[in-house]
Structure 1
Amino acid sequence: MSVRRLHRRPLMNEEARKRWVFLGIMLSIFLAAIESTVVATAMPTVVASLGGIRIYSWVFSGFLLTQTVTMPLWGRFSDLYGRRPVYLAGLATFLAGSALSGASQNMVQLIVFRMVQGLGAGALMTLGYTIIGELFGLERRARMQGYISSVWGLASLMGPWAGGLLTDHVSWRWVFYINLPFGAVAMALIAGALTGVSKPARRPVVDGMGVGLFAAGVSALLLGIVEAGRVGSWSQIEVVGLLGLGVIVLAAFVAVERRAVEPIVPLRLFGNRMVLAAVITRFLAGMAMFGALSFVPLFLQSVTGASATRAGLVLTPFVLGWVVMSVVSARLVLRVGYRTVVVIGMASLTVAFLLFWRWSVTLTSASAMVDVLLAGIGMGMVVVPMLIAVQSVVARSDLGAATSLTQFFMSIGGALGLSLMGAVMSQRLHAGLPMVEALHGVFVVGAAVCVAALASAFMVPSGRAQDLARSEMRGEPTRVGG
């Protein structure tokens, strides 16, 4: 169907198409988000079935590695080739990885197929946010992005429960197979409704050298970060070697990108103050929160003697606070601007970490829930507003690259925070300190990162969201496509 004929269709038909696309994206992002947590509760059964206890951690690390590395690549490919074909390719890759993971006969196969799954997952989150940014004007975009973030939060909350249920009552293989029917529905919705796509005016020039250098450099960097967290030291020869290799390769990548006709990562985006503020703020927020969040259940179990179930329940207010404030903050930015909302959010996150630092053996679950809720509120007031801000200030031709960069740096920040804080805990335990003191050191590092993030929040330009947005990104687009 031609774009001209699509323009003649009634407005309600266009609105219906947008709703179906939105539903398909919500379903896809739900699958990608739940996959990050649903596998954890199934792994003891998986190890009993497949063996491979010494390498099973790569089931998680491999997924994280390929998901993170490919985020900017998927985003830029969607700018060059269109949202619909690239998103459907990512979703198909994710579903293929799910099917193969469920059919794995040994741990090595499961790790490889989980990495395939991660390749696709890198597209679902970033391109889902990108398509929403392209389909709706500023006010509706703010509302829709809040809903999408809520889906992510609820999926993360349901993951461990769903994984345990499927493993206990069906089979661990259905932790992966369950994605297939829902993914097929999402694919049908998006393929059918995200139409009216115009072909590029000219054939895109793929920066093959840039793709290779970026993937190699980020992979080496992430492997170094993961290894540092595993051994509890940043001075091991393997860690230093991987980090050094990553830095050298990424330096070569920057040099190549400066000369590329169609750069995979348009370096000019970092010259935009809003994009730079979003990258730094989300990197530091991810570093603090996703790093330390892993140690909250450990504190409750190791220091206060709480059960695993009760320790897990303590994190529920964090997710609920994030979900609610994602929706609320998306609307607040239209009234008071981005800077005010983000500064308040980072201040809340900083206070939460200071409260974590005061935790002791006498900590109760109720007190921990209140402190964790404050952290969730803070994250909800940072992540979505900065996403909306970036999508409102860049040209449509850079929307995929800009959106994926904010997601990428938050993921890198989370991996770095987890590794850094794990190393701090290991060093303090090695020095003979009790667990409570070792974990206090973790929370102090998190608080220091939060203070830096709070300072970076003041980089966000002041003013009303409507006034800061590019004119082309304020109103509703005239067609469903991309």
Structure 2
Amino acid sequence: MSERRRVAIGAGGAVVLLAALDAYVVTTILVPVVKDLGIPINRLERVTPVLSGFLLGYVAAMPLLGQLSDRFGRRPLMQACLLFFAVGSVVTALAHGVPVLTAGRVVQGIAGGALLPVTMALAGDLWEERQRPVVLGAVGAAQELGSVLGPLYGAGIAAALDWRAIFWINLPLVAVAMAAVQYAVPGGRKGGPRPGVDVVGGLLLALGLGLLVGGVYNPEPEESALPSWGPPLLGAGAVVLVVFVLWEVKARTRLLDLAGVRRGPLLATLGVSLLSGAALMVTLVDVVLVAQTLLHKDSVDGALVLTRFLVALPIAAVAGGLLARRVGERWPMAAGMAIAAVGYLLIAGWPADLADASYGPLPRMDVDLVVTGLGLGLVIAPVSSAVLGLVPAARHGVASAAVVVARMMGMLIGISALSAWGFYRFHALTADLRPPLPFMMSKAEFARQFKVYNAALQDALRTEYQEIFWITAGMCALGAVLALATGARRDRAEPSAASREQILTK
């Protein structure tokens, strides 16, 4: 049994890595994408739906897919999601406009949305609670390895071939992944009554989140922080989410059944997951933009800057699992969010001469990004382990989905809201700037005025990034406080060794 379950979780980790690669690949290929689609380089806000579309699909479908895995088994859901992931990849590769590109990314997000929580639930099925944090840390490390390799993978293929090749390459990778899942992942489901599926709740959640994302998307940020349709859509989204909550209270079959679960610790843990997700996405996007706009690096070098942060994530994910096993989940979560808050404060204080700034022999940028990555990485395994320990084993699939949904909701809302704020602030800071025109002045005077204008633009960019990282530090500090409210270890009954053996033999 021991060897078989290792193979099963290894196959699950492989598909998690595949989905993670595509989740993060777009962050470093935005420039070649916008050029290919004919979008002006100074109107990056127009491709925000490409980023948020994947996350929206990922978040909106995940709880329902996690619940379906509890009902029908882990392997069938993995295979179906891999198939649709390939379909989304084809649509994305063929896209010649933002709407079709966004549609392909949404399909990829929906399909990829089940792979991580179903693999986490598989760990809950096959390992007892005391051993589970280490296994979950390894699964989390596979997810974060995708975040490390994704930006480099995307930038490298886009430079060597074309950005569309990234998505064509997914087809043979999906075929290999489907074969591995078919061989290794158990095809059965846990015994006991077959859980119901809350389709209405899943649709209400998807609609509410979609309205919120549409409400903060602003293609004209120079005019206002929100578009004209923003307030009505945000209001409608809030109403739909209230209806979702009321439905969940009254429904017989619920998306996340909290019967018998201590809600305070559960909601606090999900809050930590949400805030860590928001911080992660801000880093993935804005650190690359800092490298490209302030340090004047290309897409590959910008991705290399980000690797300081990303390499620390999987290392800390494994360490967080080991710590949670020894001391419980609360303290690694709180410490991780507090360390991340300090890291973002350090990043917000980056000076104009960042390339030359250092802490003695160590480059300041490298140290600050590693500290921040270690902080967020520590949180990954304890959050998952805490939630799985709060719910019965029969609901591990939907509970695992809830953890990742919270994290991805943070990523989705974080990138949508902070991007809208950042683009608006940049336009506000540069509203009075006028580029010099090379008429009625000497070449030397034009060069002098253009240098002054460019310096003012750089100052505006630094101010925008500084404010975003300050907000992110505040979110992490709030996450540290929430982590302290998650409570001590639970005493849930664990599935027996015979039950785990039964799953493996199906």
Distance 2:387 2:208 in 1: 25
Q: Which moved more, 1:106-115 or 1:137-146?
A: 106-115
User: 1:480 matched to which residue of 2?
Assistant: 503
Matched residue SS, 2:229: helix
* Superposition map of 1:397-476 within 5 A: 397-429=394-426, 430-431=428-429, 434-462=460-488, 465=489, 468-472=490-494
Distance 1:455 1:100 in 2: 43
Distance 2:194 2:94 in 1: 39
TM-score of the superposition, structure 2-length normalised? 0.82
User: 1:26 matched to which residue of 2?
Assistant: 13
Q: Sort the Cα spacing of 1:472 and 1:139 in 2 relative to 1 into closer, same or farther, 3 A.
A: closer
Q: Please report how far the alpha carbon of residue 105 of structure 1 lies from its aligned counterpart in structure 2 after TM superposition.
A: 6.4
Q: Please report how far the alpha carbon of residue 94 of structure 1 lies from its aligned counterpart in structure 2 after TM superposition.
A: 1.1
The answer as to 2:212 corresponding to 1:221 is: yes
Distance 1:338 1:475 in 2: 24
* Superposition map of 1:298-447 within 5 A: 298-305=289-296, 308-364=299-355, 366-429=363-426, 430-431=428-429, 434-447=460-473
User: 1:8 matched to which residue of 2?
Assistant: none
* Superposition map of 1:202-351 within 5 A: 205-227=196-218, 233-268=224-259, 271-305=262-296, 308-351=299-342
Q: Sort the Cα spacing of 1:91 and 1:309 in 2 relative to 1 into closer, same or farther, 3 A.
A: closer
1:81 to 72, 93, 101: 72
Q: Please report how far the alpha carbon of residue 97 of structure 1 lies from its aligned counterpart in structure 2 after TM superposition.
A: 1.9
Distance 2:285 2:32 in 1: 22
User: 1:63 matched to which residue of 2?
Assistant: 54
What's the Cα RMSD here? Answer: 3.0
Q: Please report how far the alpha carbon of residue 201 of structure 1 lies from its aligned counterpart in structure 2 after TM superposition.
A: 6.2
Q: Write the letter of the residue equivalent to 2:493.
A: S
Q: Sort the Cα spacing of 1:376 and 1:205 in 2 relative to 1 into closer, same or farther, 3 A.
A: closer
Matched residue SS, 2:501: coil
Is the contact made by 1:138 and 1:474 (CA closer than 8 Å) also made in structure 2? Answer: no
The answer as to 2:155 corresponding to 1:149 is: no
Distance 2:118 2:216 in 1: 26
Q: Sort the Cα spacing of 1:162 and 1:299 in 2 relative to 1 into closer, same or farther, 3 A.
A: closer
Is the contact made by 2:9 and 2:185 (CA closer than 8 Å) also made in structure 1? Answer: no
Q: Write the letter of the residue equivalent to 1:149.
A: G
- In structure 1, list runs of 5 or more residues that go unmatched: 1-13
Q: Write the letter of the residue equivalent to 1:439.
A: Y
Q: Please report how far the alpha carbon of residue 193 of structure 1 lies from its aligned counterpart in structure 2 after TM superposition.
A: 3.0
Q: Please report how far the alpha carbon of residue 19 of structure 1 lies from its aligned counterpart in structure 2 after TM superposition.
A: 2.6
Distance 1:294 1:109 in 2: 22
Matched residue SS, 2:186: coil
- In structure 2, list runs of 5 or more residues that go unmatched: 357-362, 431-458
Is the contact made by 2:215 and 2:231 (CA closer than 8 Å) also made in structure 1? Answer: yes
Q: Write the letter of the residue equivalent to 2:15.
A: S
Is the contact made by 2:152 and 2:303 (CA closer than 8 Å) also made in structure 1? Answer: no
Q: Please report how far the alpha carbon of residue 163 of structure 1 lies from its aligned counterpart in structure 2 after TM superposition.
A: 2.5
Matched residue SS, 1:295: helix
Q: Which moved more, 1:470-479 or 1:223-232?
A: 223-232
Structure 1, residues 223-272: CA drift from partner, whole Å, max 9, x if none?
Answer: 22344996785554311111111111111122222222211232548743
User: 2:92 matched to which residue of 1?
Assistant: 101
Matched residue SS, 1:434: helix
Q: Which moved more, 1:257-266 or 1:424-433?
A: 424-433
